[in-house]
Amino acid sequence: MIILEAKDISKVYPSGESSVTALNHLSIGFEAGKITAIVGPSGSGKSTLLNLLAGFDRPSSGSVSHQGNDITGMPETSLAAYRLAHFGFIFQNYNLVSILSAQENVELPLSLAGIPKTKRNSISSEILKRVGLSKRTTHYPNQLSGGEQQRVAIARALATNPSVLFADEPTGNLDTATGTGILELLTEPMEGSQNRTLILITHDMEVAARANQIVRIRDGKLEG
């Protein structure tokens, strides 16, 4: 079952008097229970595709729909609420909020969703335990290693139980051993899951090899 779908999307950026086409009439669907790796060289349009799929940006033409809901035309406020409810994000640079502890970072999306403190605490404690950080809950990002920060980021992304997980170069800043552990953490929630999809942006073919399908992009178009 297709859970997230982009139909004929293009993204054109103005550049002086001319323009740059980052994505060119691209269509793609992501199935529930599957891991999809989007690979391609730098400047191929991988990150632009992720931005459009996640609702960070809007396509110049075409549409993106999630579970049948067109998110392309949603007002900004509704789109933010939609992201909070359905999408989870893991970034290459972890992007934790530096003034919040590990547990508070995990609780941030729950807090935004208006979940009461006691419930937030129990959810965040349980997820942090799952990612092996139950003893680091009160530590701040600058007190955690890169691998630990990425685990907190994964815990934060999973906290709201999203149906789409976006991971943008999740192992890009980590050594091989730590990266392997992170990938296991990322792919583990997908095992047996029939209502979630994981979209991995990477240029590392070893990482891509863990996916059920690999999508190659070059010059804003799908290859092959």
| Candidate list 109, 147, 170, 179; residue touching other proteins; CB under 8 A | 109
Q: Is 177 in the site for other proteins (CB under 8 A)?
A: no
Q: How far is the CB of 10 from other proteins (least distance, A)?
A: 15
Q: Is 76 in the site for other proteins (CB under 8 A)?
A: yes
| Candidate list 12, 74, 84, 214; residue touching other proteins; CB under 8 A | 84
Instruction: Please count the residues of this chain forming the interface with other proteins, following the rule CB under 8 A.
Output: 32
| Candidate list 15, 18, 77, 142; residue touching other proteins; CB under 8 A | 77
CB burial class (10 A; 0-12, 13-18, 19+) of residue 31?
middle
β-bridge partners, 167: 90, 200
Q: How far is the CB of 111 from other proteins (least distance, A)?
A: 5
Q: What angle (nearest 5°) sits at the alpha carbon of residue 164, between those of residues 116 and 72?
A: 100
Q: Are strands 213-218 and 2-15 parallel, antiparallel or unpaired?
A: unpaired
Exposure string for 149-186, b = 16+ CB within 10 A, e = fewer: bbbbbbbbbbbbebbbbbbbbbbbbbeeebbebbbebb
Q: Is 45 within 8 Å of 18 (Cβ atoms)?
A: no
| Candidate list 60, 95, 134, 187; residue touching other proteins; CB under 8 A | 95
Q: Is 32 in the site for other proteins (CB under 8 A)?
A: no
Q: Is 34 within 8 Å of 80 (Cβ atoms)?
A: no
Q: Is 74 in the site for other proteins (CB under 8 A)?
A: no
Task: Write out the residues near other proteins by the rule CB under 8 A.
Answer: 13, 22, 47-48, 51, 54, 56-57, 76-77, 80-81, 83-85, 87, 89, 91, 95-100, 108-109, 111-114, 156, 160
